[in-house]
Structure 1
Amino acid sequence: MILLFIGDIVGDAATKYVAGRLPGLRAQHNVDLVVVNAENCAANGLGMGAVQVELLLRSGADVITGGNHSWDSEESVDLLRLRQVIRPANVDDDVPGKGIIHVTVGGETVTVINLADDCAMHSVKATAGKVFPAYQAWDTADRRGSTIVDYHGDHVLEKQIFAHAVDGEATAVLGTHTHEATERLRLLTKGTAFVTEVGMTGPDGGVQGFTPTNLVNGLRTAGNPFAGDMPDVFDGPMVLGAVLLEISNGAATGIKRIR
C-alpha cells in the first residue's frame, strides 16, 4: 500500500496548488490513500473553509486531519461533521468532531488518528480544560489494521517519545503543526515510520505561511506578536510538505519526501 501524507495546507492558494497536483501525484506514485492536514486551508489561513475542503476531497484527498485550528470558525466546526474530516482525539467527547476514522483501501482497513500535544492546544477556547494526554487517547482508540498518526505538536521531545512508545503498534507517526519541515525520516526498529515535522504546504518566505508585518509590529510595539490584527496569508512561492509511505502488513517499509 502507498500512502501520501500532506502537511498543514495554509490558505486558498495552497489548497488550489494541492488540488492541481494531487491527481498527478496519485498516478505517478500509485498512491492508494491520501491524507492531508487542512486545519489552515480557509482563505484567511485560520480553520477550514467549505470551498477549500470540498476542492481537496474532489481532487483526491481521502482523509482530512486537523489540530488547534480545527475550531477557529463556525464554518470550520460545521465541517467536522463530514465523515472524512477528523480533529485531535485527545479532547473530551463533548467537543465537536471526531478524532479517528477507519477507511478501507484495497480490502484492507486503515485507521487514521489525529492527536495533539498540550502546548499546541493551550490557547484553543473550544477545548479549554478538555484536553487530556495524547497517549491516553491512543491507548484507548479503536485501532484496526494499519494505523497512521497525525501528531500535531510543538515539542520535538514529545513527538519523538510518543513515536518510540508506539513503535510496532503504529504504522507511522507523522508530525505536524510547526510548519517547518525536519530533515530526518526514520524507520524505527519495530516498523513504525516517523518524521518529527512533515512541514507545511503553503507560501514560502513568511512566518509559517503568514505575512510577517502585523506580527513584527505587535512584537516591537507591545512585546506580543499577537497584540494586533491577525496576519494575512503570505503571497509567495508554494512549498510542498509531504511524505510518501510504503506499507506492508501494517508496518512501514519505506518513507520518503515528495518535493
Structure 2
Amino acid sequence: MIILYCGDVVGEQASTRLAETLPALRRIHGVDLVVVNAENCAPTGLGMAAKQVHQLLDAGVDVITGGNHSWDSEESVELLELAQVVRPENLAPGVPGHGHVHVEVAGETVTVVNLADHCAMKSVKATAGKFRPAYAGWTTAPKDGTVIVDYHGDHVLEKQIFAHAIDGTAAAVLGSHTHEATVPLHILPQGTGLVTEVGMTGPGGSVQGFTPDNLARGLRETGDPFSAPLPTVSSGPLLLGAVLLDVRDGRTVHIERITWPQDEEETS
C-alpha cells in the first residue's frame, strides 16, 4: 500500500496547486491513500474553508487532518462534521469534530488518528479545559487495520518518544504543525515510520507561510510579534511538504520525500 501524506497546506494558492497536481502525484507514484493536513487551507491561512476543503477532496484527498486551527472559524467548525475531516483525538467529549477515521483501501482497513501536543493546543479556546495528553488519546482511539498517526505538535522530543512508545502498533507517525520540514526519515525497529516534521505545503520565503513584515514589526516595536495586525498569507514560491510511504502488513518498509511534478506532461 502506497500512502501519500502532505503537511500543513497554507492558503488558497497552495490548496489549488495541490489539487491540480494530486492526480499526477497519485498516478506517478501509484498512490493508494492520500492524507493531507489542511487546517490552514482557508485563504487567510487560519482554519479551513469549504471551497478549499472540497477542492482537495474532489481532487482525490481521502482524509483531511487538523490541529490547533481546526476551530478558527464557524465555517471550519462546520467542516469538522464531514466524515473525511478529523481533528485531534486527545480531547474530552463536547469538542466539535472527531479524531479518527476508518477508510477502506484496496480491500484493507486503514485508521487515521489525529493527535496533538499541549504546546500546540494551549491557546485554543474551543478546547480549553478539555485537552488530554496525546498518549492518553492514543490508548483509547480505535486502531483497526493499518494505523497512520498525524501528530500535530511543537516538540521534537515528544514526537520521537511517542513514536518509539507505539513502535510496531502504527505504520507511521507523521509530524505536523511547525511547518519547517526535518531532514531525517526513520523506520523504527518494529516497523513504524517516523518523520518528526513533514513540513508545510505552502509559500516559502515566509514565516510558516505568512508574510513576515507585521510579525517582525510587532516584535521590534513592542516585543510582541502579534501586537501588529495579523499577517497575510505569503505569495512566495510554493513548496510541497510531503512524504511517500510503502506500507506492508501494517508496517512501513520504505519512506521518502517527494516534490511537485516538474513539467506539464507529468501533470496531464
Same fold (TM over 0.5): yes
Instruction: Output one character per residue of 1:66-103: Cα deviation in whole Å (capped at 9) or x when no partner.
Output: 00000000000000000100000011110000000000
1:169 counterpart residue number: 169
2:2 counterpart residue number: 2
1:111 counterpart residue number: 111
Matched residues in 2 for 1:132 and 1:240: separation?
31
Say which SS state the counterpart of residue 4 (structure 1) adopts.
strand
Say which SS state the counterpart of residue 131 (structure 2) adopts.
coil
Q: In structure 1, what residue type is equivalent to 2:23?
A: P
Q: In structure 1, what residue type is equivalent to 2:45?
A: G
Q: In structure 2, what residue type is equivalent to 1:246?
A: D
Say which SS state the counterpart of residue 102 (structure 2) adopts.
strand
Instruction: Output one character per residue of 1:186-233: Cα deviation in whole Å (capped at 9) or x when no partner.
Output: 000000000000000000001010000110111111111011211000
Matched residues in 2 for 1:38 and 1:220: separation?
31
Instruction: Output one character per residue of 1:4-49: Cα deviation in whole Å (capped at 9) or x when no partner.
Output: 0000000000000100110000000110000000000000000000
2:23 counterpart residue number: 23
Matched residues in 1 for 2:110 and 2:93: separation?
23
Which portions of structure 1, spanning 4 or more consecutive aligned residues, are displaced by more than 4 angstroms? Answer: none
1:97 counterpart residue number: 97
Matched-pair identity in %: 65
1:216 counterpart residue number: 216
CA displacement at 1:64 relative to structure 2: 0.1
CA displacement at 1:109 relative to structure 2: 0.2
In the alignment, does 2:80 pair up with 1:66?
no
2:257 counterpart residue number: 257
Say which SS state the counterpart of residue 48 (structure 2) adopts.
coil
1:40 counterpart residue number: 40
Matched residues in 2 for 1:252 and 1:93: separation?
32
Matched residues in 2 for 1:201 and 1:215: separation?
21
Q: In structure 2, what residue type is equivalent to 1:229?
A: P
Say which SS state the counterpart of residue 157 (structure 1) adopts.
helix
Say which SS state the counterpart of residue 5 (structure 2) adopts.
strand
Q: In structure 1, what residue type is equivalent to 2:207?
A: V
RMSD: 0.5
Unaligned runs of 5+ in 1: none
In the alignment, does 2:238 pair up with 1:238?
yes
Instruction: Output one character per residue of 1:113-169: Cα deviation in whole Å (capped at 9) or x when no partner.
Output: 000000000110100111010000101111101000000000000000000001000
Q: In structure 2, what residue type is equivalent to 1:92?
A: A
Matched residues in 2 for 1:184 and 1:142: separation?
29
Q: In structure 1, what residue type is equivalent to 2:187?
A: L
